[in-house]
Amino acid sequence: MRELVGKTAFVTGGAGGIGLALGRAFARGGMKVMLADIETEALQAAVTSLREISPDVRGTVCDVADAASVERAAQAAFDAFGKVHVVCNNAGVAAGGGIDDISLDNWRWVIDVNLMGVLHGIKSFLPHIRAHGEGGHIVNTASMAGMQSDLGFSSYGASKFAVVSMSEGLSLRLKPHGIGVSVLCPSYVRTRIGESGRNRPERYGPAQPLDPASPAAALVAEIARNIDAGLEPDAVAARVLAAIRDDELYIFTHPGSRAEVEPRFAAILAAMDRVSPP
């Protein structure tokens, strides 16, 4: 989509971090914006802040793990602005784990938000975008954790690998319809994802504390340090805006991304070479 002025964007996880930065970039770019988030007070504060840029900003409470909640949020966007053109399935959470503490509740929560939340957004908006015929773009937030496995045995990594695959397949199917797809794969960004548990619904049970001496706890501490030193969300949003205009499938944000994936790709190619004909 080359022309975004006057179009409408819907962003989940819009009350903070990358989601709020996306909303800000869209508003500055002349778009109408609907922010969706599970965190009511933070959502209202986000909407108030963006209305200093544009009056065409609204907010709707939404639990992306609940398909009906996403449907209601989509309807709120249609009621407010009519047509929606850009959908950012951005909401995401993380939970500790590893091989020493395999929590099914943690896995269900992370998969329901990070993967099913993306699916719910696609299901709720794709028929609408196809019907209005004005083109559109879907941005699914994955991660560099969806391109390589440095996190080890991880619900977060598994969910993000799935989002990459989903986005690649969706892109193939939607290109003939004039609808673009991007998968956002940032490395460390200064967000509050390390505090995801603040919004964990009761149906997934309480978060279990990690053994401070465990490898999983050490990994979580390292990730927290990397997040604190990470990229600003506004820089990520600027890349997303450019990628939508240029119809890019893969959105990488960190200069070191290539080095992160090369060992995995090399191992895959080497394994393929071992079964190649002599």
Q: Higher pLDDT residue, 206 or 180? A: 180
pTM above 0.85, yes or no: yes
Residue 212 located in a structural domain? yes
Residue 278 located in a structural domain? no
Q: How far apart are CA 41 and CA 43, in angstroms?
A: 5
Residue 69 located in a structural domain? yes
pLDDT exceeds 70 at position 15: yes
> Which strands sit side by side in the sheet containing 57-61, from one edge to the other?
57-61, 32-37, 8-12, 86-89, 136-141, 179-185, 250-252
Q: Find the mean pLDDT for residues 13-29.
A: 98
Residue 207 located in a structural domain? yes
Say how many Å lie between the first and final Cα of the chain, rounded.
47
pLDDT of residue 278: 67
174: how many CB neighbours lie within 10 A of its CB?
19
Residue 96 located in a structural domain? yes
Residue 3 located in a structural domain? no
Confidence of residue 16 (pLDDT cuts 50, 70, 90): very high
Q: How far apart are CA 57 and CA 143, in angstroms?
A: 27
274: how many CB neighbours lie within 10 A of its CB?
6
Return the structure tokens found at 125: 């908006």
156 labelled catalytic: yes
Give residue-wise pLDDT tens across range 237-259: 999 999 999 999 999 999 989 99
**How big is the chain by its Cα radius of gyration, in Å?**
19
Q: Find the mean pLDDT for residues 66-86.
A: 98
Contact (CB, 8 A) for 231 and 189? yes
Q: How far apart are CA 17 and CA 90, in angstroms?
A: 10
Residues whose CB is less than 8 angstroms from the CB of residue 270 and which lie 6 or more positions away in sequence, other chains included:
none
Looking at the DSSP assignment, which residues form a beta bridge with residue 180? 137
Return the structure tokens found at 33: 């914006």
Residues whose CB is less than 8 angstroms from the CB of residue 148 and which lie 6 or more positions away in sequence, other chains included:
260, 261, 263, 264
- Total domain count, the chain: 1
CATH number of the domain to which 120 belongs: 3.40.50.720
pLDDT of residue 11: 98
pLDDT exceeds 80 at position 208: no
Q: How far apart are CA 165 and CA 157, in angstroms?
A: 13
Catalytic residue among 156, 188, 204, 250: 156
Give residue-wise pLDDT tens across range 222-237: 888 988 889 999 999 9
**Phi/psi at 60 (5° precision):** -145, 135
Residue 218 located in a structural domain? yes
Residue 1 located in a structural domain? no
Q: Quote the domain boundaries for residue 197.
A: 8-273
Q: How far apart are CA 194 and CA 70, in angstroms?
A: 24
Contact (CB, 8 A) for 155 and 95? yes
Give residue-wise pLDDT tens across range 35-57: 999 999 999 999 999 999 999 99
**Phi/psi at 19 (5° precision):** -60, -45
